[in-house]
């Protein structure tokens, strides 16, 4: 005769209850691990990537109808690349001791995700997750490039190399004062690539408008470096803020902000961009307010949270306002 599936088993309880408990425990463990992997990507910062993609798509839409499947693929791949770069940066900052030494980080803006330092994940977990994200980006990028055109291979390869070289030795561009230039170039490539996927050809409009956004991204990275500067100097990371000092770095931030907001008006005056691009000037007051905060509090980094928030808002608003202006001007 068959056994009773609900009968008691040694140790107490019945088989069905024990199986349910094991299942619930496994699901809880998976959710916890998935949550940690999500946090490792620093998802709040992916909004700026999305804004850059929107600007590139708006640029392409001035010349051609958008293909929805390629829009989705572009968003996913750009966010994957950014997430992978974030995780890779945390991995290398853990290895070089920068995040462990950083006692003055303005979380969540600076100092990394802090999951390694908190004992939630290991360096090995972080390195593997970064590799998986970047490999997924490469695989998806190869497919999208085969559908869009050969120039996307170069755009994607350049972006991935810069994402790696930003913090990974032997280049470690951030530690050489070149991090702002590297990251700015990455965001410029996002705008250029998002346009190219739709248009199927390289164009001047996304290159010009992307340059303004790239300069604001460089400024954002610069202001993020103020709270991290003491720890960076301690472990030998000669970032731009460490090299210049707070006063000169604050002046550089103002120069980047002014130059960023000059790009669109100059492009419009030269007949290289439609008048709708002037909507990007809406972010100028935010950038100027951030520059003022830097001038006042550059030597007291713990008071720079408003400057960082304003810089993030300015970069996103700049991209989205220009995209809206281009869309409304069609």
Residue 2 in domain: no
**Band of residue 2 on the pLDDT scale cut at 50, 70, 90:** very low
pLDDT average, residue stretch 125-142: 95
Q: Is residue 194 part of a domain?
A: yes
pLDDT digits (tens, 9 = 90+) for 217-262: 999 999 999 988 888 888 888 999 999 999 999 999 999 999 999 9
Residue 150 CB neighbours (<10 A): 8
Q: Radius of gyration over alpha carbons of the chain, in Å?
A: 23
Q: Which two tokens stand for residue 126?
A: 């972080």
Position 288 in a domain: yes
Q: How confident is the model at residue 146 (pLDDT cuts 50, 70, 90)?
A: very high
Does 105 score more than 60 pLDDT?
yes
Q: Which residues contact 239 (CB under 8 A, 6 or more apart)?
A: 174, 175, 177, 179, 225, 228, 229, 232
Whether 10 maps to a domain, the answer reads no
55 occurs within a structural domain: yes
Can you read off the two tokens belonging to residue 12? 């107490």
Handedness of CA 234, 239, 241, 244 (dihedral sign): positive
Within-domain flag for 17: no
Tally of domains within the chain: 1
Res 13 pLDDT > 80: no
Q: How confident is the model over 24-45, as pLDDT tens digits?
A: 878 787 888 888 888 889 888 8
Domain that holds residue 68: 44-232+239-328
For the chain, what percent of residues have pLDDT higher than 90?
A: 69
Mean pLDDT, rounded, for 259-273: 97
pTM of the model: 0.89
**pLDDT above 60 for 52:** yes
> Look-up: residue for tokens 């945390």?
90
Residue with tokens 């550089």: 252
Residue 319 located in a structural domain: yes
Residue 9 domain-assigned (yes or no): no
Give me the long-range contacts of 165-168 (CB less than 8 A, separation at least 24): 166/85, 166/88, 166/89, 167/88, 167/89, 167/92, 167/93, 168/88, 168/92
At 253 the pLDDT is 98
Question: Mind listing the pLDDT tens digit for each residue in 110-124?
Answer: 666 677 877 888 899
Name residues whose C-beta falls within 8 Å of residue 123's C-beta, 6 or more positions apart in sequence.
91, 94, 95, 116
Per DSSP, 131 falls in state H
User: In Å, how far from its chain's centre is CA 28?
Assistant: 29
- Both structure tokens of 42: 């620093």
3-state secondary structure of 97: coil
Confidence of residue 99 (pLDDT cuts 50, 70, 90): low
| pLDDT for 305 beyond 70 | yes
* Greater model confidence, 108 or 149: 149
Q: Is the pLDDT confidence value at 104 over 80?
A: no
Length of the chain: 330
Closest CA to 259 of 203, 212, 316: 212
């Amino acid at each position: 005769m068959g056994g009773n599936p609900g009968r008691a088993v040694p140790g107490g309880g019945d088989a069905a209850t024990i199986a349910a408990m094991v299942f619930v425990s496994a699901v809880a463990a998976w959710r916890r691990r998935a949550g940690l992997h999500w946090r490792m990507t620093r998802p709040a910062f992916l909004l700026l990537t999305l804004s850059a993609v929107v600007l590139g798509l708006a640029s392409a839409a001035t010349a051609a109808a958008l293909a929805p499947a390629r829009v989705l693929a572009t968003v996913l791949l750009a966010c994957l690349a950014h997430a992978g770069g974030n995780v890779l940066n945390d991995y290398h900052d853990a290895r070089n001791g920068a995040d462990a030494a950083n006692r003055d980080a303005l979380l969540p803006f600076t100092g990394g995700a802090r999951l390694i330092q908190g004992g939630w994940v290991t360096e090995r977990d972080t390195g593997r997750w970064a590799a998986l994200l970047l490999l997924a980006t490469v695989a998806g990028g190869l497919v999208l490039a085969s559908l869009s055109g050969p120039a996307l291979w170069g755009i994607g390869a350049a972006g991935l190399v810069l994402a790696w070289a930003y913090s990974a030795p032997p280049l470690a561009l951030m530690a050489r004062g070149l991090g702002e230039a590297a990251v700015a170039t990455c965001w410029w490539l996002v705008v250029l690539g998002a346009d190219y996927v739709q248009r199927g050809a390289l164009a001047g409009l996304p290159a010009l408008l992307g340059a303004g956004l790239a300069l604001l991204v460089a400024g954002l990275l610069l202001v993020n470096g103020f709270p991290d500067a003491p720890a960076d100097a301690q472990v030998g990371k000669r970032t731009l803020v460490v090299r210049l000092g707070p006063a000169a770095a604050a002046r550089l931030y103002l120069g980047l902000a002014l130059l960023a907001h000059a790009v669109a008006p100059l492009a419009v005056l030269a007949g290289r961009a439609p008048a709708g691009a002037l909507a990007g000037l809406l972010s100028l007051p935010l950038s100027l307010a951030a520059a003022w905060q830097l001038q006042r509090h550059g030597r007291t980094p713990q008071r720079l949270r408003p400057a960082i928030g304003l810089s993030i808002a300015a970069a996103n608003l700049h991209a989205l306002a220009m995209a809206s202006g281009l869309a409304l001007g069609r």
